[in-house]
Amino acid sequence: MNKAELVAKMAEGAELTKAQAEKALNGFIAVTTAALKDGDKVALVGFGTFSAVNRAAHIGRNPQTGKEIKIAAKTNGKFTPGKALKDLNLKPVKAAPKAKAPAKKK
């Protein structure tokens, strides 16, 4: 589901116009992003918690050359599902098949 489909479902479920639903979704995203930047958590009981996680600087490796590179410390967003979301009986998601390279012509 993409953002447009989510907005349409929200509008239908909450009996709003699509414009109102999109404004509400954009507001949620903005407030959640601002809270994470401030180091706060956003907990939605039964759904899950959005939080910020600090990743330490470390040494990585360039997969093409094998050369070591320094990877800077950074902060990422994290979502932890709540109990109600974990307890859903969801169908397993199948991974999309990998695209095959076109056959070489002789």
Cβ neighbours of residue 6 under 8 Å, at least 6 residues apart?
Answer: 25
Helix ranges restricted to H, 3-96: 3-14, 18-37, 83-86
**Domains along the chain with CATH numbers:** 3-86 (4.10.520.10)
Confidence of residue 51 (pLDDT cuts 50, 70, 90): very high
Q: What is the pLDDT of residue 17?
A: 95
5: left (phi over 0), alpha (psi -120 to 50) or beta: alpha
Instruction: Give percent of the chain with pLDDT exceeding 70.
Output: 92
DSSP 1: -
- Quick count: other Cβ atoms within 10 Å of Cβ 69? 9
Q: What is the pLDDT of residue 104?
A: 62
For the question of whether the overall pTM of this predicted structure is more than 0.85, the answer is no
Q: What is the pLDDT of residue 97?
A: 72
